[in-house]
Amino acid sequence: MKTPEHCTGLPDIRHAIDTLDRQIIDALGLRMHYVKAASSFKPDQASIAAPDRVASMLPQRRRWAQEAGLDGEFIEGLFNQVIHWYIAEQTAFWLQKKSKAV
């Protein structure tokens, strides 16, 4: 993948964007594996949401975005959606594991 400065046309740009999007999706998939693994350490369904953890994560993601020159408000909102989706997925996974164990 060429750096933005070395791209010679839209095909180079589109290839790089597609490559990056694939890496983002792969990273989200890996994150999901960790989220599901975390369910093994959750004693009950109520502990999955971890509101204190979420409350500390969102401002941190905002700061990271700002440090990277991105819109912190947008990234915080994006991660809010991402985190709540993972919480829902982890809850479903936890319940599924629990029902199989009974």
As annotated, the binding site includes 14, 31, 42, 90
Query: What single-letter amino acid sits at 16?
Result: A
Is the CB of residue 73 less than 8 Å from the CB of residue 62?
yes
Alpha-carbon torsion (84, 87, 93, 95), positive or negative: negative
Tokens of 87: 């919480």
Distance CA 62, CA 46 (A): 26
Binding site for substrate, by residue number, is 14, 31, 42, 90
**Which residue is it, tokens 């990056």?**
20
